[in-house]
Structure 1
Amino acid sequence: MSALTWTTVVPLASLAAWAWLLMGQGFFWRTDVRMPPSPADGAPADWPSVAVVVPARDEADVLPKTLPTLLAQDYPGHARILLVDDGSGDGTGALARELARDAPDGPPLTVLAPGEPEPGWTGKLWAVRCGIEHARSGTSEPEFLLLTDADIAHGPDSLRRLVRGALGQRLDLVSQMARLRVRTGWERLIVPAFVYFFAQLYPFRWVNRPGARTAAAAGGCVLLRTRAAVRAGVPDSIRDAVIDDVALGRAVKRSGGRIWLGLADGVESVRPYAGLSPLWRMVSRSAYAQLRNNPLLLVGTVLGLLLVYAVPPVWACAGSPVAGAAWLVMTLSYVPMLRYYRQPLWPAVLLPVTAALYLAMTVDSAVQHYRGRGAAWKGRTYS
């Protein structure tokens, strides 16, 4: 390629890509997609019953900060909690029972132990299946299921707001992207970008549009109508999904259900990520699965990320004003997410550095997949 091409066409292509992302990708960079409004006529006359299903594997460190928030829910209807102890070796189940005894006025807690997952199942979905089956086995089937991870802390009105949102908008699935913990330097560099990139892949406005093909959910907090789960055949129909929340959203939407996904207020993850290594594992364990384990998609992703995130700063430092404009657009698009995470705004200029890390994580995810160690999590590896 000629020097003219390198100095003009490539930066122009990058700027064009950013113009399209900014205006044509569902306004993914905006952070105003929040919980649906409550019904205009106020609270429902009869609050539906809810079964809260919490899959938990070796979660004794975080459970004292999260389970009490479920036991303290201000919910007018009938609710119960099913914690599914997925083969924990740290006393997760016993600790859950102890925490429930300390909150006698909270929803009743049942601890289940389903044993090792059957072949073809991921551990989390096997635990979810156990919880849903138990919830539906009683004399009265719950109208809603709240699927929430063991590291998620809920505000006292969280369940009430989720149910009111589902009823008010006639939704079959309401999912909130929990606010992840951001305290250490690595968390500040990696975590807000994780949600930013997720929204770029699955723009919330597209997810929430009934006629759009885009579908997703955030696994930390999913309120699901029981009849919608039955109609979609979940979790059995997605039993081997590594990225189970996206698969869940797709299954419900494809079966005719109405879904909603947005950023959370009052739903937060307390899981700490001390250093780069655990954050790296969080991303790399499923990054290549996101690309369907397809090497051609991996090559396309690498080239695309280089064009969108590497070209602007490199060419701008070489004196290209067009590349500088692309870098400015990129930086400004990241500012709303930093504000949502209550972070200083100056790190927005470092988004290319963060993107380079995510690119390396994605390549490493592919390498681990071909080494037979892909999608490893808490002692289990899924092909």
Structure 2
Amino acid sequence: MAWIAGASLVAWVWLLVGQGFFWRTDVRLPPGTARRERAAPTEAAGTDGSGEDPGRWPSVAVVVPARDEAGVLPVSLPSVLAQAYPGRAEVFLVDDGSTDGTGELARALAAERGGLPLTVTSPGEPAPGWTGKLWAVRHGMALARERTDAEYVLLTDADIAHGPDSLRTLVSAARTADLDLVSQMARLRIADFWERLIVPAFVYFFGQLYPFRWVNRPGARTAAAAGGCVLLRRDAAERAGIPANIRHAVIDDVTLARAVKRSGGRSGPSTGRIWLGLADHVDSVRPYPRLADLWRMVARSAYAQLLHSPLLLAGTVLGLALVYLVPPVAVIAGTVGGSVPTALLGGAAWAVMAGTYLPMLRYYRQPPWIAPLLPFTALLYLLMTVDSAVQHYRGRGAAWKGRTYGAPPTGAGAAPGEASEGA
């Protein structure tokens, strides 16, 4: 047991310093980006009376896929329509077969609140080989091309609320750093016990799998995005064949980022330039008050992340057990059995684990006493992953709002590397 506890401690020391400093939460859009953009010399005469020059800001199409989102739309959609963006922006909400009046509610909110122009449309049921969300994105992007000459497309989920300067800041960051894709991990809702226990760990594990610093490094192979908020340059989407080339992707956000990164940049670099970080003013308003709700959220895509491979599943279970479960077990076993080395090694690994979790808890404004509970949360995620595999083999894998998606057929055109984080 002491040797196993020692192996766990070695793993944690390596994660602490060798995994892109995944535990840090300082990868954010620079707060002064929009201000620097406003201070730059204008490229055209005339302003809109606010000191901004609309002619120098690129046009943006905001595409919002929505399926049965009437419960969250009154909070999220007005924030999108109210964006203080100096250039031209238009919102396209794609009603993906809703049965709760999502489309009608969106029109009523736009009529009541005003703001950016809103078009509500519905593409009908997905064509064979498409997931529902990507079918809706395809329809929204195609409609945006017909209606606008937008240089950028903002893909945002129907449960995401944006601060008033969100779009301006995203576009400013993309232009300032010449990025093909800018994505922010929305701050997820925390209001109940299970959300407090599981949600910060969700983002923590995401960062551990896809360290933001590696994602943002030009030329690095690591690619990821957070599907709730993705600003995409239109020509980058065309080079990558978005969304057709990723139409099978159950976990579409990382698949999209990989496709963009592999498609190359505008001026000939070998990889597209992408950026991913934590958000300060982009929030998910979707509630997950019960453990069952959070369980479904994770389990619906966890096995897809593992390429539906029993071998990868076994490796993941063993890895989670060694890294997260061994430390507290070693502390208990060493204390009860009188093995001081076992207890000390397990305690050291547990302390490093808890220490790396504290920055994420601070980001979510949660008390530090939750940090030592991370092994229990990791056990829940392990069980969710196993359940995801069980549901897949029962024919109920990747189920979401009445639709179930199996593994994509081999060679059917899905983007390489579809396995990704369970967002």
Fold shared by both chains (TM-score > 0.5): yes
CA distance in 2, matches of 1:251, 1:306: 32
Conserved 8 A contact 2:33-2:169: yes
1:335-374 to 2 correspondence within 5 Å?
335-374=358-397
The runs of 5 or more residues in structure 1 that have no matched partner are: 1-5
* Equivalent AA in structure 2 for residue 73 of structure 1: Q
* 1:200 aligned partner: 208
Q: Look up the match of 1:60.
A: 70
Change (3 A) 1:79 1:39: closer
Q: Does 1:216 align with 2:239?
A: no
- Partner residue, 1:23: 17
**How far is 1:47 from its partner?**
0.5
Cα separation, 2, equivalents of 1:234 and 1:276 = 34
Return the alpha-carbon distance in structure 2 between the equivalents of residues 210 and 219 of structure 1: 21
| Contact 2:155/2:227 (8 A) holds in 1 | yes
* Structure 1 position 102, deviation (Å): 1.0
Alpha-carbon distance between aligned partners in 1 of 2:35 and 2:158, rounded to the nearest angstrom: 33
Shift of 1:356: 0.1
In structure 1, distance between residues paired with 2:18 and 2:5: 19
For normalisation by structure 1, the TM-score amounts to 0.96
Q: How does 1:93-132 map to 2 (within 5 A)?
A: 93-104=103-114, 106-132=115-141
Q: How far did 1:39 drift?
A: 7.2
Match of 2:318 in 1: 303
CA distance, structure 2, for counterparts of residue 57 and residue 164 of structure 1: 30
Question: Structure 1 residue 382 and structure 2 residue 382: aligned?
Answer: no
Partner of residue 285, structure 2 = 270
Report the AA paired with residue 35 of structure 1. L
Structure 2 Cα separation of the partners of residues 190 and 235 of structure 1:
31
CA deviation profile, 1:114-163 (whole Å, cap 9, x unmatched): 0000010000000000000000113x420000000000000000001000
Residue 283 of structure 1 corresponds to: 298
1:238 aligns with 2:232: no
**Consecutive unaligned residues in structure 2, runs of 5 or more:** 43-55, 265-271, 335-342, 407-423
Please give the per-residue CA displacement for 1:202-236, whole angstroms capped at 9, x wherever unaligned: 00000001111100100000000001000000100
Aligned equivalents of 1:303, 1:42: Cα separation in 2: 49
- TM-score, normalised relative to structure 2: 0.87
CA distance in 2, matches of 1:119, 1:207: 32
Q: What is the CA–CA distance in structure 2 between the aligned matches of 1:41 and 1:355, rounded to whole Å?
A: 42
Distance in 1, matches of 2:210 and 2:398, equals: 21
Residue 250 of structure 1: how far off its partner (Å): 0.4
For residue 292 of structure 1, what is the aligned residue in structure 2?
A: 307
What is the distance in 1 between the residues matched to 2:167 and 2:35? 18
RMSD: 1.0
Q: CA deviation at 1:316?
A: 1.0
Paired residues of 1:291 and 1:297 also in contact (CA < 8 A): yes
Cα distance in structure 1, aligned partners of 2:353 and 2:333: 18
Equivalent residue letter for 1:151: D
**Distance change in 2, residues 1:188/1:40 (3 Å):** closer
CA change 1:40–1:62 in 2 (3 A) is closer
Residue 80 of structure 1 pairs with residue 90 of structure 2:
yes
**How far does residue 318 in structure 1 lie from its aligned partner after superposition?**
2.1
Which residue of the partner structure matches residue 3 of structure 1? none
Residue 40 of structure 1, CA deviation: 8.3
Residue 176 (structure 1) aligned with residue 215 (structure 2): no
Instruction: Tell me the equivalent position of 1:38.
Output: 33
Who is 2:58 aligned against? 48
Shift of residue 42 of structure 1? 3.2
What is the alpha-carbon distance in structure 1 between the residues aligned to residue 34 and residue 102 of structure 2?
Answer: 38
How many residues align? The count is 375
Distance 1:40 1:115 in 2: 42
- Whether contact under 8 Å (2:34, 2:168) holds in the other structure is no
For 1:366 and 1:120, locate their aligned partners in 2 and report how far apart those are by CA, in whole Å: 21
Q: What is the distance in 1 between the residues matched to 2:150 and 2:35?
A: 25
